[in-house]
Structure 1
Amino acid sequence: MNPKFKVELLEEVNEFLNGLNEKAREKIIFNMLKAQVVSNNELFKKLNNNVWEFPTLHNKTKYRLFAFWDKTDKTETVVISTHGIEKKTAKTPKKEIEKTERIMKQYFEAKK
């Protein structure tokens, strides 16, 4: 199957993943790869107009990788994953969504 989009991980995501145990990291990466080929709201979920997340549940712990779309290159759609958290509350913390939006703004400004 061909991926519907490419995923790029920013440094903070790599640091987050490297801080997890191997099984949790493997499951998050597996789900992210699966989300690239399967349309499934449980694997890749829209939080607002700009911010999306890759949610993963592993051993009763909820993990979230936040992301946004970059469709400026007409040949390839890229999802930029900005950072990850271990989710402790039912609602996604507003500050995490705002952080993703800040990083997105910086990303597009740097790209100009």
Structure 2
Amino acid sequence: MQRVLGASLLAGAATAALWHWYTRETMLQGTATVHLQSEHEHFHLHVDLPSAMEIEPGDTLIIETMPEVVGETRGEITYTSPVQLHKASWLRRNLVKSSSLVEISELVDHP
């Protein structure tokens, strides 16, 4: 009984440690230039980040401000916005890379 309880506690602690490692993030803040084009045929959004910021697999970028646009932009709008870059942990980054390679292989191999 004590072995089962000890093993359960060890498994729970290991799971908690992995979850904490997976969800760990660091946040960088800066100001970016956003290029937005929204028209009937397509939608295009491009963000020029500060040189200290680099997006990698698993990262999340939050653009904090958006212009008030009703309908189409009729060309490209360029504006600056504060941004937050949430950097993924090493574990999350590598899991995203691995799963993405599998999905790309499935798309390529699909008849």
Task: Name the TM tier (shorter chain).
Answer: under 0.3
- Larger RCO, structures 1/2 (Cα 8 Å, 6+ apart): 2
- TM-score of the aligned structures, taking structure 2 as reference length: 0.28
- TM-score of the aligned structures, taking structure 1 as reference length: 0.27
